[in-house]
Amino acid sequence: MFLWAHLIAGILLLLVVILALAKKDNKIAPYMIAARMLYIFMILDGFRVLVPAIQRNITLSFIKIIAAIGTIALIEFALVSKAKGKLTTNRVLAAIGGLAVVFVLGFILAQGRPFIGA
Ligand code: HEM
């Protein structure tokens, strides 16, 4: 259940980031609030799913958390630049690329769950 919640929050975060960065104007305050609520949720929920994961693969768990926190910073850079009307392609690529890396690391760490296995 905590893993499903983690996955759904991750997908919502990806959608919020894409919608905010693709918006025609720079009025993205509601998207920024939603993204921040999702990070807080993902950090708290992440610690819950970390308990079994750390026993399985401590190194990858560590890498995954560092990548996730780094990605949260990259998303913040992109959203703040967008809100100020100074968004660059590099910032968009960094935020989306970071999310892609975290998704891949997450699925490797969770061994394909919640889709494959118990
Ligand atoms: C940008 C934020 C994050 C994204 C997009 C993200 C995404 C994911 C995804 C897609 C998975 C695969 C399993 C699933 O589908 O639920 C996963 C697994 C995992 N995530 Fe995250 N995550 C984020 C932040 C965090 C944080 C902050 C932590 C730790 C505090 C964390 C800890 C974990 C752990 C331990 C697993 C493996 C769970 C298991 O093996 O059962 N994640 N994450």
Task: Give per-residue pLDDT as tens, 35-76.
Answer: 999 999 999 999 999 999 999 999 999 999 999 999 999 999
Q: Which residues lie below 8 Å from residue 91, measured CB to CB, with a gap of 6+? A: 74, 77, 78, 81
Ligand 1 pocket, residue 110 CB under 6 Å: yes
Give me the sign of the Cα torsion angle 12, 14, 15, 17. Answer: positive
Residue 115 has pLDDT above 90, yes or no: no
| 15 φψ region: left (φ > 0), alpha (ψ -120 to 50), beta (else) | alpha
Ligand 1 pocket, residue 106 CB under 6 Å: yes
Ligand 1 pocket, residue 75 CB under 6 Å: no
The Cα–Cα gap between 107 and 109 comes to 5
The angle subtended at Cα 22 by Cα 90 and Cα 13, nearest 5°, is 85
Global pTM reads 0.94
